[in-house]
Chains A and B, each alone.
Chain A
Amino acid sequence: MTYNINNKGYYGEFGGAYIPEMLYPNVEELRQNYLKVMAEPEFQEEFHALLKDYVGRPSPLYFAKRLSAKYNTKIYLKREDLNHTGAHKINNTIGQILMAKRLGKNRIIAETGAGQHGVATATVCALMGLECIVYMGEIDIARQAPNVARMKMLGATVVPALSGSRTLKDATNEAIRDWINNPVDTHYIIGSVVGPHPYPDMVARFQAIVSEEIQWQLQEKEGTSKPDYVVACVGGGSNAAGAFYHFLDDTDVKLIAVEAAGKGVHSGESAATSILGKEGIIHGSKTLLMQTPDGQITEPYSISAGLDYPGVGPMHAHLYKSGRAEFVAITDDDAMTAGLELCKMEGIIPAIESSHALAVFEHKKFKPEDIVVVSLSGRGDKDLETYIQHFGL
Chain B
Amino acid sequence: MNRINKKLQEDNKLLSIYFTAGYPKLNDTAKIIENLEKNGVDMIEIGLPFSDPLADGPTIQASSTKALKNGMTTEVLFDQLKDVRKTVSIPLIIMGYFNPMLQYGVEAFCKKCAEVGIDGLIIPDLPVDVYNEHYKSIFEKHGIINVFLITPQTSEERIRFIDSISKGFIYMVSSASVTGSSSGFGDVQTDYFKRIHQMELNNPQVIGFGISDHKSFSQATQYAKGAIIGSAFVKHLTTEGTDTIDRFINKIVKP
Contacts and interface: CB of A to CB of B under 8 A. Distances in A.
Given A281-B125, A296-B68, A21 B173 contact: yes
Contact of B102 (A20, A164, A280, A298): A280
Given A20-B55, A21-B149, A177-B54, A280 B173 contact: no
A284 B51 contact: no
B177 interface: yes
Given A280-B103, A284-B125, A296-B68, A177 B178 contact: yes
Interface string A256-269: 00000000000000
Interface string A175-206: 01100111110000000000000000000000
A173 B53 CA distance: 8
A291 interface: yes
B56 to A, nearest CB: 8
Interface string B116-153: 00000000111110100000000000000000111101
Interface string B45-56: 000001111110
Contacts of A173: 52-54
B227 to A, nearest CB: 18
B225 to A, nearest CB: 19
Given A281-B98, A294-B74, A296-B51, A18 B130 contact: yes
Nearest to B153: A25
Contacts of B178: 22, 177, 180-181
Contacts of A170: 52
Contacts of B173: 21-22
B57 interface: yes
B51 A181 contact: no
B154 interface: yes
A219 interface: no
Interface residues of B, number: 42
A56 interface: no
A16 interface: yes
A352 interface: no
A169 interface: yes
Contacts of A20: 54-55, 124-125, 149
A176 B99 CA distance: 17
A281 B99 contact: yes
A209 interface: no
A21 B172 CA distance: 10
A282 interface: yes
Contacts of B150: 21
A297 B99 contact: yes
Contacts of B114: none
B61 interface: yes
Size category of the binding interface on chain A: 35 or more
A163 B61 contact: yes
A25 B154 contact: yes
A19 interface: yes
Contacts of B124: 20-22
B104 A295 contact: yes
B101 interface: yes
A326 B176 CA distance: 43
Interface in A139-172: 162-164, 169-170
Given A20-B149, A183-B153, A280-B103, A296 B125 contact: no
B193 to A, nearest CB: 17
Interface string B196-226: 0000000000000000000000000000000
Interface in B160-211: 173, 176-178, 181
A43 B181 CA distance: 39
A291 B75 CA distance: 16
Contacts of A16: 127, 130
Contacts of B149: 20-22
A24 interface: yes
B61 A164 contact: yes
Interface in A264-321: 278-284, 291, 293-298
B178 to A, nearest CB: 5
Nearest to A280: B99
B242 interface: no
A90 interface: no
B241 interface: no
B127 A297 contact: no
Contacts of A19: 54, 125, 127
Contacts of B176: 22, 180-184
Given A24-B154, A294-B100, A164 B52 contact: yes
Please give me the 5 A-B residue pairs with the lowest Cβ-Cβ distance, nearest first. Answer: A295-B103, A295-B100, A20-B124, A21-B149, A296-B51
Interface of A: 16-22, 24-25, 162-164, 169-170, 173, 176-177, 180-184, 278-284, 291, 293-298
Given A25-B151, A283-B54, 18 more contacts: A19-B127, A20-B55, A21-B124, A21-B149, A21-B150, A21-B173, A22-B177, A24-B158, A163-B61, A180-B54, A182-B176, A184-B176, A279-B102, A280-B102, A281-B97, A295-B74, A295-B100, A296-B68
Interface of B: 50-55, 57-58, 61-62, 65, 68, 73-75, 97-104, 124-128, 130, 148-151, 153-155, 158, 173, 176-178, 181
20 contacts: A16-B127, A17-B127, A18-B98, A20-B54, A22-B55, A22-B177, A25-B153, A162-B58, A163-B62, A164-B51, A173-B53, A180-B54, A279-B102, A281-B125, A282-B52, A283-B54, A284-B125, A295-B50, A295-B103, A296-B68
